[in-house]
Amino acid sequence: MPDSSGPELKTAPLPYTDEVKAKTDHLYPRVAKLIPEIEWRTMAPYIAAINDLKKEKNAVILAHNYMTPEIFYCVGDFAGDSLQLAKEAAKSDADIIVQAGVHFMAETSKILCPDKTVLIPDPKAGCSLAASLTGADVRLLKQKYPGVPVVTYVNTTADVKAETDICCTSSNAVEVVEYAAAEFGTDTVILIPDQYLARNVAAMTDIKIVTWAGACEVHERFTAEDIREIREGNPGVIVLAHPECPPDVLAEADFAGSTSGMSNYVKDNQPKNVVLITECSMSDNVALENPNVNFVRPCNLCPYMKMISLPKILRSLQTMEHEVLIDPEIIEKARSPIERMIALPLKRQSMYTHQHAPEVFALEARAS
């Protein structure tokens, strides 16, 4: 199958043989509604080879909800949102973890499993949020706001996590902020680096929030006007949005939650027509499990998530590239904020229903 992302992968496509067919026929029904047979024949040889190598090497693939369906349904051993993948990594007994997601997710796996080999099929699979903030930035913030707990979104580098009190994901951000304020006895929490997630959390709590001028380049492109147009063109459509979207977008939505929160909403409510205001592969993956729901499709692609492909996953398992390596001292410091988050007994996913005007106490940015 074609892969345009690097000269190193310009190899001849693998053939679709009888052996490949025998190894993959049982998987095709999972994606048949979306992937035509002719395309499947270009994917199946990679799927067969990846699944063989996983067994041979005792490897698991952790697939984020934004992976394309052939990865999500046919080679992923565990699929989910950032929090679920971190939990799976923490309890995995595989020797090798292949992260079908972006680099910060692979770092999280390595921090939780320092003795395992963690591979990222393309090391350039970054994230605009993770790129917006450094460990040095966090140290400066701590000087400026002494005694204020630092909550960082998991979409950050290991260096940033090493400066953090407790991590959060979109599925638990409200509860983690309230927990951090109670633990530290403060009325203010630093929640970085996503200014929109911070504003959306601020709308749900009385805790004052200091945030950072970071944003997800995929979700910040959605506007409230987009949502109004979608509603006009699709009367009765249910609008679900990710909390990395700006607050005025969430104010127009029927529900906002993490990637798995949106997926569960569709599963539980079976709306007739739905639109997921998030990355494009989400709708594909959720649609395959909910055949009676019609998906309205405006969406934005995450260029980093889309760097992960079947040929790159195969190559990663064959060559053991690209291994995620982190300074052991940073691992040591970065592990406790992630483990603290995982250990929190949260009863439900964070909701973002905009209870009051979304205020933040301060929006900080890099000085230079």
Binding site as annotated, residues for [4Fe-4S] cluster: 127, 216, 302
Question: Torsion angle, CA of 172/178/183/189, rounded to 10 degrees?
Answer: 100
Query: Which of 163, 165, 175, 244 is the binder for ligand 13P (CB under 6 A)?
Result: 244
Q: Which residues pair with 153 in a beta bridge?
A: 168
Nearest by Cα to 163 from 197, 134, 194? 134
Is there binding between residue 321 and ligand SF4 (CB under 6 A)?
A: no
Number of H helices, E strands in the chain: 16, 13
Binding mask 118-157 for ligand 13P (x = CB under 6 A): -------------------------------------x--
**In the bound complex, what is the minimum distance in angstroms from residue 244's beta carbon to ligand SF4?**
6
Q: Which SS3 state, helix, strand or coil, does residue 304 take?
A: coil
Burial class (CB in 10 A: 0-12, 13-18, 19+), 102: buried
Which parts are annotated binding residues? 64, 82, 127, 153-155, 170, 216, 242-244, 259, 302
Query: Which of 102, 111, 174, 209 is the binder for ligand SF4 (CB under 6 A)?
Result: 102
Which of residues 216 and 341 has its CB atom nearest to ligand 13P in the complex? 216
DSSP string computed for 128-159: TTGGG--HHHHHHHHHHSTT--EEEESSS-HH
Query: Which of 99, 156, 259, 350 is the binder for ligand 13P (CB under 6 A)?
Result: 259
Which of residues 48 and 192 has its CB atom nearest to ligand 13P in the complex? 192
Residue 111's binding partner among ligand SF4, ligand 13P, none (Cβ under 5 to 8 angstroms by kind) is: none
In angstroms, rounded to a whole number, what is the distance separating the alpha carbons of residues 200 and 258? 12
Is there binding between residue 279 and ligand SF4 (CB under 6 A)?
A: yes
Q: Which stretch binds ligand 13P (CB under 6 A): 42-50, 169-177, 247-255, 310-318?
A: 169-177
Residue 81's binding partner among ligand SF4, ligand 13P, none (Cβ under 5 to 8 angstroms by kind) is: ligand 13P
Is there binding between residue 258 and ligand 13P (CB under 6 A)?
A: yes
Which of residues 170 and 316 has its CB atom nearest to ligand 13P in the complex? 170
- Cα distances from 137 to residues 140, 150, 174, 263, 301, in angstroms, run 5, 12, 23, 34, 29
Q: Which of residues 205-224 bind ligand 13P (CB under 6 A)?
A: 216
Any residues with CB less than 8 A from the CB of 187 and at least 6 apart, and which? 181, 206, 207, 208
**In the bound complex, what is the minimum distance in angstroms from residue 47's beta carbon to ligand 13P?**
24
Is there binding between residue 171 and ligand SF4 (CB under 6 A)?
A: no
**In the bound complex, what is the minimum distance in angstroms from residue 292's beta carbon to ligand SF4?**
28
Is there binding between residue 218 and ligand SF4 (CB under 6 A)?
A: yes
Is there binding between residue 81 and ligand 13P (CB under 6 A)?
A: yes
Helices (H), 77-208: 82-91, 103-112, 135-144, 158-161, 173-184, 195-202
Is there binding between residue 280 and ligand SF4 (CB under 6 A)?
A: no
Is there binding between residue 170 and ligand 13P (CB under 6 A)?
A: yes
Which parts are annotated binding residues for iminosuccinate? 64, 82, 153-155, 170, 242-244, 259
Which of residues 45 and 214 has its CB atom nearest to ligand SF4 in the complex? 214
Nearest by Cα to 48 from 79, 80, 14? 14
Query: Which of 128, 152, 157, 285 is the binder for ligand SF4 (CB under 6 A)?
Result: 128
Nearest by Cα to 124 from 281, 320, 307? 307
Strand order in the sheet with 294-296: 255-256, 238-241, 273-277, 294-296
Query: 257 with 170: CB under 8 angstroms?
Result: yes
Angle, vertex CA 91, rays to CA 312 and CA 54, nearest 5: 30
In angstroms, rounded to a whole number, what is the distance separating the alpha carbons of residues 17 and 23? 10
Q: Which residues bind ligand SF4 (CB under 6 A)?
A: 102, 127-129, 155, 216-218, 244, 279, 302, 304-305
Q: Which residues bind ligand 13P (CB under 6 A)?
A: 65, 81-82, 155, 169-171, 216, 242, 244, 258-259
